[in-house]
Chain A
Amino acid sequence: MVKVNKEEVIVEEKDVKTSIYEIGYLMVPSIAEENLGGEVTSFKDSLSSYGAVFISDEYPKLIELAYEMTRSVNNKKQKFSYGYFGWVKFECSTNGAQEIKEALDKNEKIIRYLLVKTVRENTMSVKRSYNRQDSKRKVTPRVEETEKVSEETIDKEIDALVV
């Protein structure tokens, strides 16, 4: 009979369950393009400090928002109609995700964020380019064969029309 160490069993049970999450975020437009890279890396570093393992991401792009957003910072309302939108997909424990959420709430550089559960695969639909190619009809240039008409014949025809 094999003796099972009780401590080992407890450790196995405590093994944390991880899930795939995705954070879509809007950064304040006041950040200069040069400093954006630094902001993104510091944002990612803060995520990895909570145990996030990155799967994929997209670098933020400045977009015009569909409507004006307001965010109050230090009891002052700020209005935004532009923002840097980016996203990051990562694997993390449920506790880690909760901590990330709390940290993002305090981040003043982020106007808004959306933390959702997702899947490891790419969820963006692939654009069907072949359809477009089909719709584009190949236009073959028409070669119009024009008969070379001498000036004399043109003059004659004009005279005939005048008369």
Chain B
Amino acid sequence: MKQDYFSSNNIKHIDYKDVELLKRFLTPSGKIMSKKRTNVTSKNQRKLALAVKRSRFMGLLPYIAK
């Protein structure tokens, strides 16, 4: 069983400015990967989704990658 990335790296708060971290959990087209693929807990998946959406709003991440 794979472990949660955030718990294993002791990341309590997922920051929307941490673009390199967030990019790990995006598909090549810019979609947020499903919980099945990210292997993170439900709680962290929700935090991740919020951070990605904030980052998209600020223009740090694309809504759709070409």
Measured CB to CB, the residues of A under 8 A from B are 24, 26, 63, 65-67, 69, 83, 85, 87, 112, 114, 116, 118-119, 121, 123-125, 128
Contact = CB atoms under 8 A, between A and B. Distances in A.
Given A83-B59, A112-B57, A128 B15 contact: no
Nearest to B20: A127
B9 to A, nearest CB: 7
Interface of B: 9, 11, 13-18, 21, 54, 56-63
Contacts of B61: 66
Contacts of B15: 123-125
B59 A125 contact: no
The B interface is mostly helix, strand or loop, or mixed, namely loop
B57 to A, nearest CB: 6
Looking at chain A's contact residues, the main secondary structure is strand
Nearest to A82: B59
Given A26-B59, A85-B58, A123-B18, 16 more contacts: A24-B17, A66-B60, A67-B59, A67-B62, A67-B63, A69-B59, A83-B59, A85-B60, A87-B17, A112-B57, A121-B13, A124-B15, A125-B11, A125-B15, A125-B18, A125-B21
